[in-house]
Amino acid sequence: MTDHDAGWQDVEHAETGLKELEMVVYVGDFRIVGVAHFKVGARHTSRRASDYIRQVRDNRLTLSKVRIYARGTQELLETTPFVIVNMDKIDFMFAYEDSGPKPD
């Protein structure tokens, strides 16, 4: 199983004002893959994934459709509808850019 078995997520919801980005978050011994929901502002068409990540003002990030793996392996430890990640504990995280390479 790969990080992207569920497919690459990048959906804009005009009716709700939300953008969904599939995030990969490394915390300690875990790799957490899930979907983050960001508010869409007036400049959303030119925003990069990193712009949405930097707009988070809370020290917690909520992810949905979560898969948790052992760090450095493909071993799936857990799936859950959502998880709340402490931003102060994140080693690093990323999301795929709209124009960047997308997983198969």
pLDDT 10s digit of each residue in the chain, 104 long? 455 444 444 444 445 577 888 999 999 999 999 998 877 765 545 566 667 676 767 789 899 999 999 998 899 999 999 999 998 999 999 986 654 455 54
Check residue 39 and give its pLDDT: 74
Residue ranges with strand state E in 7-95: 10-13, 18-27, 30-39, 60-70, 76-86, 92-95
Residue-level pLDDT at 37: 85
pLDDT of residue 104: 41
pLDDT of residue 26: 96
Domains and CATH numbers, the chain: 10-95 (2.30.30.100)
Q: Give the per-residue pLDDT at 32.
A: 96
Query: In terms of Cα–Cα distance, which of 69, 78, 76, 56 is closest to 25?
Result: 69
* Cα–Cα distance for residue pair 46/44, rounded to 1 Å: 6
Through-space distance between the first and last CA atoms of the chain, rounded to whole angstroms: 13
- Which candidate, 54, 53, 55, places its Cα nearest to that of 63? 53
Region of 36 please: left (phi>0), alpha (psi -120 to 50) or beta.
Answer: beta
β-pairing verdict for 30-39 and 18-27: antiparallel
